[in-house]
Amino acid sequence: QQQVRQSPQSLTVWEGETAILNCSYEDSTFNYFPWYQQFPGEGPALLISIRSVSDKKEDGRFTIFFNKREKKLSLHITDSQPGDSATYFCAASENYNQGKLIFGQGTKLSIKP
């Protein structure tokens, strides 16, 4: 039973394009949604996060769009760079509870120069 689902499993875009990574969840009590970025040979690192009281969160080229009614969110990466090539994990929890973070299975993003 996968409570947090991501799609696509892998994505390839050209440098300069916008990459869109999707995430959905099941538990309506989830109210905190971080995205983690993982490069090969490293641990995941927090990229950007959103709380359910907001429908959009922007940080430079990274933007989260959140739809509470549909239990969906997406990560948009504009002006994609080769250095953005990584695996991106959507996660969810209730009330910032790191011990209860549920991770999706990840989207492997490749940026072609």
- Cβ of residue 96: shortest distance to other proteins, in angstroms? 5
Structure tokens at 83: 């250095």
- Cβ of residue 105: shortest distance to other proteins, in angstroms? 5
Provide φ and ψ at 99, rounded to 5°. -70, -15
Structure tokens at 59: 């940080």
How distant is the alpha carbon of residue 30 from its chain centre?
15
- Cβ of residue 103: shortest distance to other proteins, in angstroms? 4
**Which residues in this chain contact other proteins in the complex, by CB under 8 A?**
32, 34, 36, 38, 41-46, 49, 87, 89, 96, 98-101, 103, 105-106, 108
Any idea what DSSP says for residue 93?
B
CB nearer to other proteins: give 30 or 34.
34
CB nearer to other proteins: give 19 or 101.
101
Q: Rounded CA gap, 97 and 41, in Å?
A: 26
